[in-house]
Amino acid sequence: MRRVLSTLLLAVLTTTLTFATAPKREFRGAWIQAVNHQFEGIPAAELKAELSRQLDSLASCGINAILFQVRVEADALYKSDLEPWSAFLTGIQGLAPDEDWDPLQFMIEECHNRCMELHAWINPFRAKTAPTNDFAYNHQMRQHPERIIRYGELALFDPALKENRDWICQVAADIIRRYDIDGFHIDDYFYPYPDGNLKFNDDASFKQNPRGFTNRDDWRRDNVNLFIEQLYHTVKDIKPWVKFGISPFGIYRNKSASYPDGSESSGFENWSGLYADVLLWIEKGWVDYCIPQVYWNTGNKAADYSILTQWWSDHAGGCLMYIGQDVERTVQGKDPNHPESHQLRHKMNLQRILRGLQGSCQWPAKSVVDNPKGYRTILKAEFYSTPALQPLSGNMPSNTPGKVRKLMPVETKDGTVLFWTAPKARRELDKAIQYVVYRFEKGEPINLDEPHHIAGITRHSFLNLPYRDGTTQYTYVVTALNRIQRESAPVKCKVSL
């Protein structure tokens, strides 16, 4: 049945290269990673400039959320008393960056200045990447080697140990308490991706504490389940407004006689390979958003993008579901209906017409900035040409800010400026963090659901207005947004420009 539905969707897409209307709310994310060594050994001033350049480029093409990697291998790209500075930042684990610089704090400020969300992204269980052999004195490889399992050239925290799950949640709690992040994000590394016939040797843990399980696979999945539940509550107990998200591998389970509800695919699975029961986490409400890494193209025999995106859409449940997009693979593929073009338009249109999906996340951000085959240009001109607020989840708090006060235009030496005053608030989630300013021409119906009316999204309580001829009348409407971007009732005024 789903194969038929996918065929119907592809048939719809033959009508035009671009047709899917931009929604008012859409997650438009990008991953900025450290694990590729792009930051390593670069002086702080130079790296600040490069990150600012990337953020300018991403913001200008409509990206509204950055997932910034701050923990690669039980290390830190932020000031931490728990884990050492990352070698992926300074080149030497434990060595602090120059200028007393805190990359996470810098990225929070820079993203918020551009009205983008910042999600702190950690790798939870990886303790060592292949190249790393020198460890700082306070690294867990030195402090508690008995809790670590080596797997080829990698080393991982044993997910079976409560001490490890507690430690990772302690690291998460430290970040959430001290930094004004909008989201907390983990990637797809739970148990390791297989390395040939190499065995992940957790025999001792299984023997010591099977917790009633006789099947090791079920026991491993339960270890990860315990961690996800604990981490979710760690986030929410500290700051209920911080969104918790996961980016699992792109296939949950393949369809089979034992699991007929799986996707029509034949690749590696979360369920049996990484022991990640993603649908259980969604069912239990332990994740606010999910970004499956559907990095393949439509037409891939083992993992077809169109089939998998529809499968994830069908299984979104109450979770916000976004699709992880691979920039390089997308531009290397051919649009199934327009072979003269690559697959970006095809993928974005498909993502938008599937009702269970509320956005995309680009991997990696640097590739968007580099604009291969016009990727960034197409996003900006065709799909992200209007601003977008963040999607809302029923799992998040329902608090809504009050209306703005004292809305009025003021003539200044710099032209007409629209001013307002923040609404009163007693609780954190009642506070206005940002504002949306809409513009309508004289006689035009006020419709706040149409994003092309958004004149600006700002963290300031004013907006400079464009002068025309001094006699053209517009109606401006201002709403307030709280930390999770729930929107207040509108306030309007008329302005002649």
Q: What is the per-residue pLDDT across 260-294, written as a single tens digit (0 to 9) for each?
A: 999 999 999 999 999 999 999 999 999 999 999 99
Gyration radius (Cα) of the chain, Å: 24
> Any idea what DSSP says for residue 324?
E
- Does the pLDDT value for residue 91 go beyond 60? yes
Q: Is 86 in contact with 136 (CB distance < 8 Å)?
A: no
Q: Is 328 in contact with 283 (CB distance < 8 Å)?
A: no
Residue 91: left if φ>0, alpha if ψ -120 to 50, beta else—which one?
A: left
Instruction: List, for residues 35-72, the tens digit of each pLDDT value.
Output: 999 999 999 999 999 999 999 999 999 999 999 999 99
Task: Write the single-letter amino acid at 492.
Answer: K
Give residue 414's pLDDT: 84
119 in helix, strand or coil? strand
> Of 163, 155, 146, which Cα lies nearest the Cα of 125?
155
Give residue 16's pLDDT: 42
> Of 222, 249, 242, 326, which Cα lies nearest the Cα of 287?
242
Instruction: List, for residues 388-402, the tens digit of each pLDDT value.
Output: 999 998 889 999 999
- Does the pLDDT value for residue 4 go beyond 60? no
Give residue 469's pLDDT: 83
Characterize 412-427 residue by residue with b for buried, 16 or more Cβ atoms within 10 angstroms of its Cβ, and e for exposed: eeeebebbbebbeeee
Q: Domain-by-domain residue ranges, the chain?
A: 2-383, 405-496
What is the side-by-side order of every strand in the sheet holding 454-458? 454-458, 434-441, 473-481, 491-496
- Give the list of residues 6+ apart from residue 186 with CB closer than 8 angstroms, or none: 121, 122, 123, 124, 231, 245, 246, 247
Task: Write the single-letter amino acid at 11.
Answer: A
Give residue 97's pLDDT: 97
Pair type for strands 462-464 and 415-421: antiparallel
Mean pLDDT of the chain: 95
Pair type for strands 126-128 and 473-481: unpaired
pLDDT band at 19 (very low <50, low <70, confident <90, very high): low
> Any idea what DSSP says for residue 445?
-
> Of 357, 355, 292, which Cα lies nearest the Cα of 325?
292
Domain 2-383 has CATH 3.40.50.300: no
Peptide bond into 466 cis (omega under 30): no
User: Mean per-residue pLDDT for 408-412?
Assistant: 93
pLDDT band at 474 (very low <50, low <70, confident <90, very high): very high
Range scoring the smallest mean pLDDT among 48-52, 86-90, 365-369, 412-416: 412-416
Give residue 18's pLDDT: 52
Q: CA-based diameter of the chain, in Å? A: 81
Which class does domain 405-496 fall in?
mainly beta
